[in-house]
A and B are shown apart, each in its own frame.
Chain A
């Protein structure tokens, strides 16, 4: 044991996450993994023509986690992944900080890359999480996702 309890493959949490830990956990699931693709979503400090100092996330936590688990299972089946992990933060995230992390591992690179792209697109469509941009001029909920 290295002192780290194994974290769940799908999580919603306030605290920041370690990409190294997530990728290590993914790699530990199989030695047949030849390709790992990852996506990291970060908080931009500029949006719609104004500066953004922080982003606040609200989530329908139980459903969001259930939908993320469904997405992971669907991606594993659809792209024949060996494993996948999804972590999304909620609460207040400062500009430049990490928001979401997706890692997809497969025997070869193509399905890993395709699954990673599919997962972030589907997450945006299906997972009940909402972001509010906090700017020096005030706060506003984001209602579109380009």
Chain B
């Protein structure tokens, strides 16, 4: 399974903080993004960063390993 997390404004638009997504062999970050975007289009209007296992990831072609933690995030507003 892939653990997908949402925070702040994205979590509000999704209506959840955590989702479990079934892992598929050969899955790439782009595939997971597309799948989530299809389910939660309003939330993904504001998604602009992705983290995998706590690290910023810019390459959406990156393969996603089973049991990864993936976070789709909007622009930060800390400080």
Q: Is A17 an interface residue (CB 8 A)?
A: no
CB-CB contacts below 8 Å: B43-77 with A = 46, 49, 51, 54-56, 71, 73-77
From B55, B71, B77, give the contact of A129 (CB < 8 A). Answer: B77
Q: Does B23 sit at the interface, judged by CB under 8 A?
A: no
**Which residues 59-113 of A sit at the B interface, judged by CB distance below 8 A?**
59-60, 62-64, 66, 88, 99-100
Question: Complex Cα distance A125/B77, Å?
Answer: 8
A58 at the interface (CB under 8 A from B): yes
Q: How large is the interface on B (under 10, 10 to 19, 20 to 34, 35 or more residues)?
A: 20 to 34
Smallest CB separation, B41 vs chain A (Å): 17
Please give, as numbers and ranges, the residues of chain A lying within 8 Å of B73 by CB-CB distance: 60, 128
A131 within 8 A of B: yes
- A contact residues around B26 at 8 Å (CB): none
Distance in angstroms from A60 CB to nearest chain B CB is: 5
* Given contact pairs A66-B54, A141-B12, A143-B46, A60 touches B7 in the complex (Cβ within 8 A): yes
A32: CB under 8 A from chain B?
A: no
Q: Is B5 close to A, CB under 8 A? A: yes
Q: Are B54 and A100 in contact (CB under 8 A)?
A: no
Q: Which residues of B have CB within 8 Å of A144?
A: 75, 77
Q: Is the CB of B7 within 8 A of A88?
A: no
List, in ascending order, chain A residues with CB within 8 A of B38's CB: none
Given A60-B5, A60-B71, A130-B7: A120 and B79 interface contact (C-beta under 8 Å): yes
Top 3 closest pairs, chain A to chain B, by CB: A130-B8, A129-B78, A141-B9
Interface residues of B (CB under 8 A from A): 5, 7-9, 11-12, 46, 49, 51, 54-56, 71, 73-79
